[in-house]
Amino acid sequence: MSNSLELNKVFAAILTAGITFGVAGVIGRLIVHPTMPKESAIQVGEPAPAQAVAAVAAPALEPISPLLAAANVQNGQQLAQRQCASCHSFNEGGRNGVGPNLYGIIGANHARADGFNYSAAIRGMAGKPWVYEEMNAWLANPRAYAPGNKMTYAGLASVQGRADLIAYLRSISPNAPAP
Ligand code: HEC
């Protein structure tokens, strides 16, 4: 009888110690956790969130219109052949490929090609015409211009290259407005 009483006391003591230890651990973690800046430190070296990158890497774009008068249409056509023709045709009535036909694109509305399956991002701009600064922003950084679009093209960083290319697009766009 007294033996089991002693045993009960021992169990009780162990139990109390265990509970105290556990509670102390939880409290300790609650207290310590918010003061530990370790979580962000662990992520050093990982890429910054995309939004942060976009915010940092999107300086105001130099306007393209003033450069068009002196732009080189020939060079723009070569750029189009090299960088765009794998996905786009440029001739009147040309077929849609991976991307839509681009004849007459300057001054035409976004998402205007019949039978082409545009992304919601571009379709959502269907009421707006492709004019010079829109085209400039799109070609500089398609992903920033229309997040979620499906044109797999990183962008043309050279402002002169974009001016030449846009001058070429204008040359094949009968309804292009004056720059
Ligand atoms: C890898 C294929 C690919 C390349 C390379 C590419 N495009 Fe595209 N382009 C697309 C696709 C796909 C779309 C449709 C985008 C969408 O619906 O989100 C598109 C859409 C466009 C549009 C919008 C057309 C419209 O009807 O609203 C323009 C303008 C355009 N591209 C111009 C260019 C130019 C100029 C180049 C070269 C500098 C180029 N693209 C390179 C695939 C490509």
What integer pLDDT is reported at residue 8 of this predicted model?
72
Please check the confidence at residue 21 and state whether its pLDDT lies above 80.
Answer: no
Supply 29's token pair. Answer: 């973690």
Q: Which residue has the higher pLDDT, 53 or 121?
A: 121
Query: What is the rounded average pLDDT of the residues 35-48?
Result: 51
CA distance 16 to 101: 78
Ligand 1 contacts (CB < 6 A) are 83-84, 86-88, 98-100, 102, 105, 110-113, 118-119, 121-122, 130, 139, 149-153, 156, 165
Query: What is the rounded average pLDDT of the residues 49-56?
Result: 53
Q: Are 168 and 73 in contact (CB under 8 A)?
A: yes
Query: What is the rounded average pLDDT of the residues 106-118?
Result: 97
Query: What is the rounded average pLDDT of the residues 12-38?
Result: 57
Query: What is the rounded average pLDDT of the residues 125-139?
Result: 97
CA 127, 129, 130, 133 torsion-angle sign:
negative
Please check the confidence at residue 113 and state whether its pLDDT lies above 70.
Answer: yes
